Amino acid sequence: MIAVTSMEADAPSSAEISKAFAEGRADSLAQAYQRWSNLVFTLALRALGNRADAEDVTQQVFVSAWRGRANFDPDSGQLGAWLTGITRHRIADRMTARSRELRNSEAAARLAEQRPTTVLDDLTIDRVLIADELEQIDDPRRTILKLAFYEDRTHPQIAEQLDLPLGTVKSHIRRGLLHLRDRLKEVTGDETSR
């Protein structure tokens, strides 16, 4: 016979955690994390083969689950199964991002092979100027612009990821682009770039 510790006896059941999670009780998020984070992390690590990516996916899964808890119905399934479904989506998102990063790296390598390294064309200079000016912008605007233009995120995806209203994201992007345009005019002295 296996002795049950008092902590195990006091731990809520999966069904109790699922019900509390659906009701939006804050302590249920910690309980869900304690119960299923190892499963989520293991699935992500096996699929991605990278500990840092698996940790990021695990965090994203629980943040997404909490934000989308209104879509979870404990009567139609277990919270662990629902979290597993979210995990599969986040793993797919990460693999897509990896593919995009690989394509970008390969394209950059091909360009580097095609061009002499000592020649800087206008496009390269513009990219360096934009990257430098982007670093001068305060957050969250800088982060929003990077997500939009370096990671190809849509406005709704950025709003969800940063937990900001969609209108705020759009406003930051517009103002950030206007700021960059004005700064580039000052730096390059070009009055025609409108």
Cβ-contact 69, 25 below 8 angstroms: no
How many Å is the Cα radius of gyration of the chain? Answer: 23
Question: Per-residue pLDDT for 119 more than 60?
Answer: no
Residue 5 vs residue 67, higher pLDDT: 67
Q: Is residue 139 part of a domain?
A: yes
Q: Is residue 5 part of a domain?
A: no
pLDDT at 33: 94
Kindly report the number of other CB atoms within 10 A of residue 11's CB atom: 15
Question: Per-residue pLDDT for 54 more than 90?
Answer: yes
CA atoms within 13 A on the CB side of 170: 4
Q: Is residue 80 part of a domain?
A: yes
Q: Is residue 29 part of a domain?
A: yes
Same domain (yes/no): 135, 57: no
pLDDT at 66: 93
Question: Per-residue pLDDT for 37 more than 70?
Answer: yes
Same domain (yes/no): 20, 77: yes
Q: Per the structure, how many domains does the chain have?
A: 2
Same domain (yes/no): 57, 142: no
Same domain (yes/no): 87, 157: no
Cβ-contact 84, 57 below 8 angstroms: no
Query: Tell me, what CATH number does 68's domain have?
Result: 1.10.1740.10
Domain closes at, from 91, 115, 139: 115
Same domain (yes/no): 111, 124: no
Q: What is the pLDDT of residues 130-162, one digit of tens each?
A: 777 777 778 888 888 888 877 888 889 888 888
Query: Tell me, what CATH number does 149's domain have?
Result: 1.10.10.10
The pair of three-digit structure tokens given for residue 43, joined into one six-digit string:
């699935």
pTM reported for the whole predicted model: 0.52
- Residue 188 sits in which domain range? 120-194
Domain closes at, from 62, 87, 115: 115
Distance CA 184, CA 181 (A): 5
- DSSP assignment string, 118-178: T---HHHHHHHHHHHHHHHSPTTHHHHHHHHHTS---HHHHHHHHT--HHHHHHHHHHHHH
Distance CA 57, CA 35 (A): 16
